[in-house]
Amino acid sequence: MTSGRTACHAAMLVATVAVAPAAAVAQSGWGVGGGAATRITTVRRATLAGSEVLSGVVVGGEGRLAAGRFTLRLAYAEGSLHPDGGDTRQQYVEGSVALGLVPLPGLEIAAGPYARAYIVDAIPQRRLLSRLHARYEAAVVGDAIRGHVEAWAGLLHEPSGRAAGSWRGGGVGVSVQPVGRRIAVRVSYMIDRAHPDAGPGPETVEALAITVTVGRT
Amino acid sequence: MTRVLLVLVAGLVAGRASPARAQDGGDLLVQALAAYRALDYDRAATLLRQALDAGGAARFPDSARAEAAVYLGATERFRGRHAAAAAAFRRAVAADPRHRADTLVFPPEIVQAFDAARRSTRYVYVRTARDTAITTGDDAYVVRLYASAPHDLAVTVRSEGVGDPRRLYAGPIGDSLEVSWDGLDAGGRRPLEGALVLEVASGTTRQHPSLVRIPLTARVTGADSLPLPPVPDSLLLPERERAGPAVRALVAGLLGGVAAVALPAAVSPGESTEPGRYGVGAALTLAGLVGFIVHRPGRQIPAGVAANHATREAWRRDADAARDARGQHRPGVKLQVSAGRQTPFAGGEP
């Protein structure tokens, strides 16, 4: 993949999350939100030769559809990661779908599949995961500044579906939404760690993201 | 009566009237009465007419002008000018509809002629309190009417130049009549405020009615004695911050900041190299401090104050609308009513 294709995907995501909510959010009982994110991502993982550190910028989008207490979350991101001290660039792609429930105001518990892939010379190295995700968001300064914390845990899967390891992670962030506006800016930090049952060792992904959102995400 | 008239006129000349104009009318009247007693009716008629037409005559009391007009009518009658006499008698009735020819002063012929003229006219004298306060719906603003002769009349009060009139009375009047106004508008619902006009129309249009207008000024000076029921608390927003939001903001910010710093240690100990998490943690901590200050206990909430003001206004409007729908008025509004000088318009014979 090229950086041009990445930009194209990002633009489509932004259009999807920014325009579609405006048409749908007015319907009572339904809530739609979305955002476009830029993430500085760092991957540390064990290899047969020892370990490697990859870093780069990943661009993506996210969407959230709420109907009463139920939610549907979609996310997609991709970008290029560069190894420290190396020239071999790797394409990074991730995507997820999660169905959620809001048992208490601000608290959302969701579950669903998650996929992550590293592509080197058109050969993908995939991670298939399932996760249980909890997220709590609260107003800090009125509705203008809100904060959130999240945590998740899950399983690594082989292509056959068999469990092949564990996975956990968490994140924290703060969003600023000017009074009277539907657009907000969110800064967040997240980190997760996968423990494959087989292979060279664990893999840690860490990211600092800036997300522009529309509606409630 | 002549003595009374002279005393009134002398009093005006000596003190009440403006010097030059009252002097004219007063002197003329004194000279006219002297000529009348000397049976010099031509001179008496001329002087009486000049006295009544003089600028200072308007300052005479109504009863004095009426008496002077009766003298003029008697003088004209003695001169054989019956039409002029009748006109003078009507002038007397117009000045004071309650006035009667004194049977001790004037001969029966004059008294009968005056009574005939009085019965053929329909003038009304209106007496009102110059300045009074009433409670709408409970008290009444009293208007007393004195008629020159029995006839039909209508009494209304309305805002000057606009709005439907509030009809106070329509029907016959004998010698006198008392009419009251409860201070409310044409619909009987709201206080009638501002510049008003009290009108007394005698007769009908076909019968050349006379019209008396009295300017009134009415203003509300007191609140309802029965206030509106209070707005339910469930409809109101907080107007002052309580401790809860401030503490929650501070705790959320501090915990978020700690989480940002401690999260890597919990998930992947010893592997984090992302310094940006400190920025996120600092932002959350700072937001928590700002939230604590913004939501500090006791602080006024402008949005809540504005929303509650709008809610209370809507509540009052709804209450008024409900009263209107039931045909009720706002009870107990204090209304200060001031009356101006009455102005008679065209009057006539039937």
* pLDDT single digits (tens) A51-92: 889 999 999 999 999 998 999 999 999 999 998 877 788 999
Mean pLDDT of chain A: 84
**Chain A residues in contact with B267 (beta carbon < 8 A):** 168-170, 191-193, 204
Q: Indicate the pLDDT class of residue A159, thresholds 50, 70 and 90.
A: confident
For residue A180, the SS3 value is: coil
Q: Does the pLDDT of residue B20 top 50, yes or no?
A: no
The yes-or-no verdict on residue A114 having pLDDT over 50 is yes
- Would you place residue A49 in the very low, low, confident or very high pLDDT band (cuts 50, 70, 90)? confident
Reply yes or no on whether the pLDDT at A162 is more than 60: yes
Three-state DSSP at B236 gives: coil
DSSP one-letter code for B56 = G
Question: Which one of B253, B273, B291 has the shortest CB-CB distance to A42?
Answer: B273
Spell out the domain ranges in chain A. 3-214
A85 φ/ψ sector (left φ>0, alpha ψ -120 to 50, else beta): left
Judged by CB atoms closer than 8 Å, whether chains meet at A189 and B294 is answered as: no
Q: How far is CA A37 from CA A25, A33, A81, A91, A118, in A?
A: 21, 13, 16, 17, 19
Task: Give the C-alpha separation, B179 to B219, whole Å.
Answer: 21
**pLDDT above 50 (res B262):** yes
Compute the distance between CA of residue A116 and CA of residue A165 in angstroms, rounded to an integer. Answer: 14
pLDDT band at A190 (very low <50, low <70, confident <90, very high): very high
| Average of per-residue pLDDT across B23-39 | 83
Token pair in block for residue A133 = 């995700």
**The CATH number, out of the four listed (2.40.50.140, 2.60.40.4070, 3.30.300.210, 2.60.40.10), of the domain defined by the range B124-226+334-344:** 2.60.40.4070
Tokens 């009047």, located at residue? B173
Q: Is B281 on the interface with A (CB under 8 A)?
A: yes
CA distance B102 to B112: 11
Res B8: pLDDT: 53
Q: Which CATH architecture has domain B2-119?
A: Alpha Horseshoe (1.25)
Cβ <8 Å between B277 and A189: yes
The residue that leads in pLDDT, B24 or A23, is B24
The domain ranges of chain B are 2-119, 124-226+334-344, 233-324
The burial class, CB within 10 Å (0-12 / 13-18 / 19+), for B343 is exposed
The half-sphere exposure of A147 on its side-chain side, counting CA atoms within 13 A, is 29
Which amino acid is it at B228?
Answer: L
Range from A11-15, B63-67, B87-91 carrying the lowest mean pLDDT: A11-15
What count of other Cβ atoms lies within 10 Å of the Cβ of residue B216? 23
Backbone φ, ψ for residue A3 (5° rounding): -65, -30
Identify whether the C-beta of residue A155 lies closer than 8 Å to the C-beta of residue A163. Answer: yes
Single-letter residue type at A138 = A
- Confidence band, pLDDT 50/70/90 cuts, at residue B93: confident
Backbone angles phi, psi at A99, to 5 degrees: -100, 135
* Residue-level pLDDT at B350: 37
A175, A59, A162, A81: which is closest to A125 by C-alpha?
A: A81
CA distance A52 to A171: 23
**Nearest Cβ partner for A189 among B248, B260, B271:** B260
Could you please state the CATH topology (level 3) that the domain comprising A3-214 is classified under. Lipocalin (2.40.128)
Interface size A-B, in CB pairs within 8 Å, comes to 99
At residue B13, does pLDDT exceed 80? no
Of A147, A169, A193, the CB nearest to B284: A147
> pLDDT grade, residue B40 (50/70/90)?
very high
Nearest one of B121, B97, B124, B99 to B111, comparing CA atoms: B99
| A148/A142 Cα distance (integer angstroms) | 14
pLDDT at A34: 93
* Residue B234 pLDDT: 83
Confidence grade of residue B7 (pLDDT, cut at 50, 70, 90) = low
Residues B87-102, mean pLDDT to the nearest whole number: 87
Two structure tokens written together for A86: 């190396």
Average pLDDT over residues B172-194: 85
Contact B181, B140 (CB under 8 A): yes
Is B141's pLDDT higher than 80?
yes
Rounded to a whole number of angstroms, the CA Rg of chain A reads 18
Tokens 């719906």 belong to: B137
